[in-house]
Structure 1
Amino acid sequence: MKKLQLTTKIFIGLALGILLGIILQPNPDIAVKFVKPFGTLFLNLIKLVIVPLVFSSLVVGTCGMDDVRKLGRIGGKTVAYYMLTTAFAVTIGLILANLSNVGGGFSIPVDAKVEVAEAPNVIETLLNIIPSNPLKALVDGNMLQIIAFALIIGAGIIGIGEKGKVLFNFFDSMADVMYKIIAVIMEFAPIGVFALITPVVAQNGPGVLLPLLKLIVVVYAGCAIHALFTYSATVSLFAKVSPVKFFKGIAPAMVFAFTTASSSATLPISMKRSEENLGVPKSVTSFVLPLGATINMDGTAIYQGVCAFFIAQVYGINLPISAQLTIILTATLASIGTAGVPGAGMIMLGMVLQSVGLPIEGIALIAGVDRILDMMRTMINITGDAACATIIAATEGELNRSVYEKPASSAK
C-alpha cells in the first residue's frame, strides 16, 4: 500500500466505502454511528487549516505579484473566466434538460414542502465584502471578507516596501506550516473518504435514487461534458497543457471533493495538487483558488439549469427560450451574489426559480437526492478552479512546466 499513489489509495477507500454502504443499507444507523465519526474527524482536521491557510497564502500571493496593477490584471482574468464558464455550464444543463425531457412522467408528491433561506440582497453582499471587524470574519470563516482583508494587507505590505518584509516572512512561514500540516493530514485521506462515503450510500439507497434517476443522470452527464469539453478546451487552448495530464494532476482533489461535497474542505488539497502536480506557483494558487472556492460554481450552475427545467415540467409549465436565457443570466450572477452563504446551492436555485416565475416549492422534489447531486457539482466546481489557476499561471508566464511534465510515478 505504501507504494501506491495517493490517488489510487483514495479510489480504493471510495470503492470500499461504497461497498460497505451497500452492505449496510438495511441498517444505516451502524454506518452513521460507527463509521461516520471517523469521516467527521478527518473533515474537522481539514477545516482546522482552511482559514489560516487561505489568509496567509493570500497575503503571500498578493505580495508575490509585486505591484497592485498585476493584482488587478490577474483578478480581472480570474473573474472573467469564472463568469464565462458558469454561463456556459448552465447552458449545457438546459440543453441536456431539453433533449432528455428530464421531468417527463414524474408526479408531484402530496406532502412536498420546503423551506429555503432568503436570498441575500446583492448590494448588501457587495458592501459586506469589506469586513468592519476582520477578526470576526476570521472567526466566522466568512471567505469573501477573509479574501478582501488578506488582499488589503498584502497590498499594504507591497506599499511600504522593505519595512513590510518582517510581516511578509511571518505569513510566508505560517503558509508553509499549514502546508506541512496538510501533508500529514492527507496521509489519512483514504480512511477519511471511506468513512464519509459509507453513510451516504447506506442512507441513500435505490429507494430514494430510482424515482429521480433521470434527473441524477442528466446532472452528472452535464457535469462530465462540461469537464471533458470546456475545461479540456480551455487548458489546452490557453495554457497549452494536455487535458489528460491536467485531470491526472488534480484527480486527488476531485475525488476528495466528490466525497465531502465541500469546496472549502477541498481547498487545501486543490492548492497542494495544483502546485505540486500542475506547476502553478503559490502566488497564483493562493489568489485564484480561494476566490474560486467562494464564487465559482460551474457544477452548481448545471444543477440550476437542469433542476429548473425539471421543476417546470413537473408542474406543467412551459419554459420559452426567453425564460431559459433569464435562467442563464440569473444563475451566472447568483454565483457571486450568494458567495459565502451557507446552503448557497439551494439559495441559488430559489433565486433562479423566482426569476422565471416557477414555484419555489419545487425544490422539495429534489431534496431527497440533493446530497447525491451536490457531490458531483462540488467536484466540477473545484476542477474549474484548478483549470483557471493553470490558465492564469500560463498566461502570466509563470507555469512551471518542468513540474507539470514530470513523470506520473514521481507525483505523490
Structure 2
Amino acid sequence: MSEPSTPAAKTRMPLHWKIAIGFGVGLLLGLFVHYGIGADAPWVGALTQYVTTPFSQLFLSLIFMLIVPLLFSALVVGVSEMGDVGSLGRIGWRTLAYTIVLSGLAVLLGLVMVNVFHPGTGVDPALAQQLLAEGAERTEAIVRDSATQPKGMEMLLSIVPQNVIGAASNNANIIALMFFALMFGIGLVLTQTAQTSVLKRGIEGLFQISMTLIGLVIRLAPYAVFCFMFNLAVLFGWDLLLRLGAYVLVVVGALAIHMLVTYSLALRAIGGWSPLAFFKGVQEAMLMAFSTASSNATLPTALKVADENLKLPKKVSRFVLTIGATANQNGTALFEGVTVIFLAQFFNVDLTLGQQVMVMLVCILGGIGTAGVPSGSLPVVALICAMVGVPPEGIGLVLGVNHFLDMCRTTVNVTGDLGIAALVSKGERDSEVDLAAA
C-alpha cells in the first residue's frame, strides 16, 4: 500500500512582491490620510513622529550599521578572488571607462532636456518665495555643508585616508574606506602565504556574516517601505509635485530615458544582454533602491540579485557593485546637472556653453564622489551653483520634491551599477569555473 503523499510546501511570496505591496499600501493610505483627514490632525502627527518615522529610521540605521563591514569584506574578497593584479587592472579600467561614459551621457541628456523645456522660467514667484521661506533653515545648513566640501586637488587627496577608522565612521567619506579596502585586497593578491590564506578566509567569513545579518534586516523592508511611503504621502500628497510639475517631469523623464534607453542599448550592443531579461532580473534591487533612496542600503540586495538572478561572476559583481555604490551615480549626476540649470533659469542667470560644459564635468565628478545616502547630492548641487554664479540658497525651491526625486535617481544609480557589472562580466569567469574547465 502506497504511503499518502505529503502536501506541497506552501510557496513563500518573493520579497520584491512584499516590498511592492508595502509601497502601494503605504502610498494609498498616506494619500487618503492627507486628503481625507489632513496631515495636521493630532493623531496623524503622533503616528508619524512616534511610529512610522522611528521605524523607517531604525531600518536604515540597521543597514548602515552593517554597511562598513560589508563594503570592506566584499571589496577585499572581490579583489583577492581575481588572483592577479592584471585581472584587477583589466576589470578596474573597464569599470571606470563605462562609469565615465554612462555618467557623461546621463548629464548630457539632462542638460539637453532642461535647455529644451526651460522648467525654471515658469515657476510661480509667490510659490517660489513660499518654498524658499519654508526651507530656509535646512537650506542654510546645506549651503554651509557645501562650503566644507573638498574641492579640486583637495578632493582627490581626500580619497586616501589618513585615518581608516575615521573614514569608516563617516558615511560621507566612505570612498576613502573603499580605497583602503582596494589596497588591502591588492596586498592579499601580492602576498601569497599560508598566513594570508587564513586571513582571506577570515574576511570571507566576515562577508558571509554581514550578508546573513543584512538578510535578517531586509525581512523588515516591506514594513519600512510602507512607513517611507506613508510619511511621504501624508506630508506632501501630490500638491507639491504638481506645483513644480515641469521641473519634476524633466528630471523623471531624463532619468527614465537614460535607464530604459541608454542602459538597454549598452546592454544589447556591448554585453549581448536582453534588456527585458536584465530588468526582470534586477527588479528586486530597483524596488529596494526606490524605497530607501540609498545606494549603500541597497548594496546587499544588489549583490544578491547579481549572484542569484543575473548569475554574474562573483569576483566581478563584488568589485563593481561595491565600488559602484559610491562611485557610479549616473542618476545623481543627471539630477545635479538639471537642478543647477533649473535654478539658473529661475534666477535669470545666463550660463554660457563653456559654463554648462563645466557644470557637466563637475557633475560627473560629483556623481563619482557623492555619498550613497539619502539626499547626499544636495551639498554638491549647492557647491556647483556657487561655482557658476547661481545663488546656492535657491536649492530651497526643490527641497520639498527632493525625496521623491532622490528615490528615482537612486533607482537609476543601482540599475546602472548592475548594468556595468553585467557589461564588465562579458568574457570574465569565476576562478572556480576556470579550474573546473581546466
Give the TM-score normalised by the residue count of structure 1: 0.90
**Residue among 361, 378, 382 paired with 1:350:** 382
- CA RMSD, aligned part only? 2.3
* Partner Cα separation in structure 2 for residue 399 and residue 200 of structure 1: 46
- Are 1:152 and 2:169 matched, yes or no? no
Q: Which residue of 1 aligns with 2:55?
A: 38
Question: Percent sequence identity over matched residues?
Answer: 38
- Are 1:262 and 2:294 matched, yes or no? yes
Q: In the superposition, relative to structure 1, how do residues 333 and 41 fare at CA in structure 2: closer, same or farther (>3 Å)?
A: closer
Q: In the superposition, relative to structure 1, how do residues 400 and 274 fare at CA in structure 2: closer, same or farther (>3 Å)?
A: farther
Range moving further from structure 2, 8-17 or 284-293: 284-293
Q: In the superposition, relative to structure 1, how do residues 392 and 45 fare at CA in structure 2: closer, same or farther (>3 Å)?
A: same
Contact 1:279 1:400 in 2 (8 A): no
1:319-340 deviation per Cα after TM superposition (whole angstroms, max 9, x unaligned): 3433322221221122235557
Q: Which residue of 2 aligns with 1:167?
A: 199
Contact 1:279 1:399 in 2 (8 A): no
- Are 1:9 and 2:18 matched, yes or no? yes
Q: Aligned with 2:251: secondary structure?
A: helix
Q: Which residue of 2 aligns with 1:68?
A: 85
Contact 2:150 2:158 in 1 (8 A): no
Contact 1:235 1:387 in 2 (8 A): yes
Name the aligned partner's letter for residue 269 of structure 2: L
Contact 1:40 1:196 in 2 (8 A): no
Name the aligned partner's letter for residue 236 of structure 2: N
- Are 1:80 and 2:105 matched, yes or no? no
Q: Which residue of 1 aligns with 2:223?
A: 191
Q: In the superposition, relative to structure 1, how do residues 330 and 55 fare at CA in structure 2: closer, same or farther (>3 Å)?
A: same
- Are 1:102 and 2:119 matched, yes or no? yes
* Partner Cα separation in structure 2 for residue 22 and residue 4 of structure 1: 26
Q: In the superposition, relative to structure 1, how do residues 399 and 278 fare at CA in structure 2: closer, same or farther (>3 Å)?
A: farther
Contact 1:61 1:284 in 2 (8 A): yes
* Partner Cα separation in structure 2 for residue 48 and residue 185 of structure 1: 11
- Are 1:132 and 2:194 matched, yes or no? no
* Partner Cα separation in structure 2 for residue 253 and residue 342 of structure 1: 16
> Any unmatched runs of 5+ in structure 2?
1-9, 434-438
Name the aligned partner's letter for residue 161 of structure 1: Q
CA-CA distance at 1:317 after TM superposition: 2.9
Q: Which residue of 2 aligns with 1:91?
A: 108
CA-CA distance at 1:93 after TM superposition: 0.9
* Partner Cα separation in structure 1 for residue 286 and residue 24 of structure 2: 15
Q: In the superposition, relative to structure 1, how do residues 91 and 170 fare at CA in structure 2: closer, same or farther (>3 Å)?
A: same
Q: Which residue of 2 aligns with 1:288?
A: 320
Contact 1:338 1:347 in 2 (8 A): no
Q: Which residue of 2 aligns with 1:54?
A: 71
Q: Aligned with 1:161: secondary structure?
A: coil
CA-CA distance at 1:232 after TM superposition: 0.8
CA-CA distance at 1:389 after TM superposition: 0.9
CA-CA distance at 1:265 after TM superposition: 0.9
Alignment of 1:326-365 (within 5 A): 326-338=358-370, 344-365=376-397
CA-CA distance at 1:69 after TM superposition: 2.1
CA-CA distance at 1:98 after TM superposition: 2.2
Range moving further from structure 2, 86-95 or 342-351: 342-351
* Partner Cα separation in structure 2 for residue 139 and residue 90 of structure 1: 31
1:355-393 deviation per Cα after TM superposition (whole angstroms, max 9, x unaligned): 432222221211221112111111111111111111111
Q: Which residue of 2 aligns with 1:18?
A: 27
1:31-50 deviation per Cα after TM superposition (whole angstroms, max 9, x unaligned): 34322322222222222321
Q: In the superposition, relative to structure 1, how do residues 76 and 304 fare at CA in structure 2: closer, same or farther (>3 Å)?
A: same
Q: In the superposition, relative to structure 1, how do residues 2 and 124 fare at CA in structure 2: closer, same or farther (>3 Å)?
A: farther
Contact 1:60 1:283 in 2 (8 A): yes
* Partner Cα separation in structure 1 for residue 169 and residue 365 of structure 2: 27
Q: Which has the greater radius of gyration?
A: 2
Q: In the superposition, relative to structure 1, how do residues 145 and 324 fare at CA in structure 2: closer, same or farther (>3 Å)?
A: closer
* Partner Cα separation in structure 1 for residue 341 and residue 432 of structure 2: 43
Name the aligned partner's letter for residue 385 of structure 1: D
Q: Aligned with 1:24: secondary structure?
A: helix
User: In the comparison of the two structures, how many residue pairs are matched?
Assistant: 401
CA-CA distance at 1:261 after TM superposition: 1.0
> Any unmatched runs of 5+ in structure 1?
402-412
Q: Which residue of 1 aligns with 2:5?
A: none
**Residue among 402, 415, 436 paired with 1:383:** 415
Contact 1:353 1:360 in 2 (8 A): yes
Name the aligned partner's letter for residue 21 of structure 1: G
Contact 1:208 1:368 in 2 (8 A): yes
- Are 1:248 and 2:280 matched, yes or no? yes
Q: Which residue of 1 aligns with 2:208?
A: 176
CA-CA distance at 1:258 after TM superposition: 1.1
